[in-house]
């Protein structure tokens, strides 16, 4: 059995679909369906069972309901991922304490543990290598991921089963519609163009021109491929950036959406006051560690990734 927490969410559901495509159906999906709309992401999946995230932790893991010998791997993708959420108590309980419990369970039972970290740990830094000196989060979401990565470095024994932390950069693609305001720029710009014929980007800030703030935009298929590669290579452990290695401006996303629809124009809007001081205007993954571990597959650029996404989104 393979366990995917956050399995009805964006990255988790795409991972479940990819496992199914490999013929793997013995998948336990763990999630919180308080937002019931997320079920659409897995309605076409073949899974072994579904568990609520709290019942899974208290009954299946801590209560011993599941035999750890039956678990092939745990993909821990579940988290509160809102970068504008400031309830630190809730964030640390969901993203930090929960992950610590699963980590120690996995180490104790020598179960491969692949978990979602985030590029949000880097904050406003312009060096994006997996080094503590580059980590300075700007929001409590980033802090929750930062704190777990640092905890992992402190407690990981010399002799341990596989543990992999994947620092996702700006992921976009199918099955993210439930995320609302936290869905990708490509998703929102597609909706804006269909509704009003224009797409909106932030005006210049932090020394960047209109729409020229730059991010490392990574297509969901590439993120899933990295996860599965680590499952296939259980001797590889560590914390790794997952991005293309090349930043692109938000204007590239907007132009890719306009090109797909063959209509539309860009409108630049004032930068919101509430995001000042907690917004990453530049990210670019250094993927040297990932390449050195052995992952050599090429990543989609914005033009090819957005085209595939909009083919799916507007089907």
pLDDT tens per residue across span 242-274: 999 999 999 999 999 999 999 999 999 999 988
The contacts of residue 208 (CB under 8 Å, 6+ apart) are 214, 249, 281, 282
State the catalytic residue, choosing from 50, 53, 100, 179. Answer: 179
85-100 mean pLDDT: 92
pLDDT reported for residue 205: 86
Q: Report pLDDT digits (tens) over 268-293.
A: 999 998 888 778 889 999 999 999 99
Given pLDDT bands bounded at 50, 70 and 90, which one contains residue 209? very high
Residue pair 254/211 in contact by the 8 Å Cβ criterion: yes
Residue 234: both structure tokens together: 């259980």
C-alpha closest to that of 109 among 151, 57, 74:
74
70-93 mean pLDDT: 89
Q: Report pLDDT digits (tens) over 189-201.
A: 999 999 999 999 9
Q: What proportion of the chain, given as a percentage, has pLDDT over 90?
A: 89
Catalytic, 100? Answer no
Which residue matches tokens 């797909």?
Answer: 260
Q: What length is written for the chain? A: 315
- Going by the DSSP 8-state scheme, the letter that residue 59 receives in this structure is I
Q: What is the mean pLDDT of the chain?
A: 95
By mean pLDDT, which of 5-14, 78-87, 233-242, 297-306 is the weakest? 78-87
Burial 273-291 (b: 16+ CB within 10 A, else e): eebeebbbbbbbbbbebbe
What Å distances lie between residue 134 and 82, 90, 107, 129, 165, CA to CA? 22, 26, 27, 7, 16
What are the phi and psi torsion angles at 205 (to 5°)?
-160, 160
Using the predicted structure, report yes or no on whether residue 313 has a pLDDT greater than 90.
Answer: yes
3-state secondary structure of 200: strand
Catalytic, 141? Answer yes
Can you name the residues that pair with 27 across neighbouring β-strands?
2
pLDDT reported for residue 83: 73
Q: How far apart are CA 285 and CA 130, in angstroms?
A: 9
232-247 mean pLDDT: 98
Q: Report pLDDT digits (tens) over 161-180.
A: 999 999 999 999 999 999 98
pLDDT reported for residue 229: 98
3-state secondary structure of 166: strand
Domains in the chain (CATH in brackets) are: 2-172+218-245+284-300 (3.40.50.720), 177-214+247-282+304-310 (3.90.25.10)
State the catalytic residue, choosing from 98, 105, 141, 279. Answer: 141
């Amino acid at each position: 059995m393979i366990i995917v927490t956050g399995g009805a969410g964006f990255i988790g559901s795409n991972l479940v679909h990819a496992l199914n495509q490999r013929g793997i159906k013995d998948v336990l999906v763990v999630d919180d369906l308080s937002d019931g709309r997320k079920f659409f992401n897995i309605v076409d999946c073949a899974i072994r069972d579904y568990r609520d995230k709290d019942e899974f932790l208290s009954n299946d893991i801590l209560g011993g309901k599941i035999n750890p010998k039956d678990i092939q791997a745990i993909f821990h993708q579940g988290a509160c991922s809102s970068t504008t959420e400031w309830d630190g108590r809730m964030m640390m309980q969901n993203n930090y304490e929960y992950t610590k419990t699963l980590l120690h369970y996995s180490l104790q039972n020598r179960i491969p543990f692949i978990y979602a970290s985030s590029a949000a740990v880097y904050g406003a830094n312009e060096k994006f290598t997996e080094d503590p000196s580059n980590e300075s989060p700007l929001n409590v979401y980033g802090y929750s991921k930062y704190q777990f990565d640092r905890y992992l470095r402190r407690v990981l024994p010399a002799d341990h089963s596989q543990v992999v932390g994947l620092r996702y950069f700006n992921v976009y693609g199918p099955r993210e519609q439930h995320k609302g305001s936290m869905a990708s720029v490509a998703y929102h710009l597609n909706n804006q163009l269909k509704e009003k014929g224009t797409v909106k980007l932030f005006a210049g800030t932090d020394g960047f021109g209109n729409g020229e703030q730059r991010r490392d935009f990574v297509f969901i298929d590439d993120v899933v491929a990295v996860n599965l590669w680590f499952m296939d290579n259980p001797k590889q452990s560590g914390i790794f950036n997952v991005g293309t290695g090349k930043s692109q401006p938000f204007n590239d996303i907007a132009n890719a959406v306009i090109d797909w629809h063959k209509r539309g124009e860009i409108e630049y809007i004032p930068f919101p006051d509430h995001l000042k001081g907690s917004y990453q205007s530049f990210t670019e993954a250094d993927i040297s560690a990932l390449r050195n571990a052995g992952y050599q597959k090429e990543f989609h650029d914005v033009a090819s990734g957005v085209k595939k996404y909009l083919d799916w989104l507007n089907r």
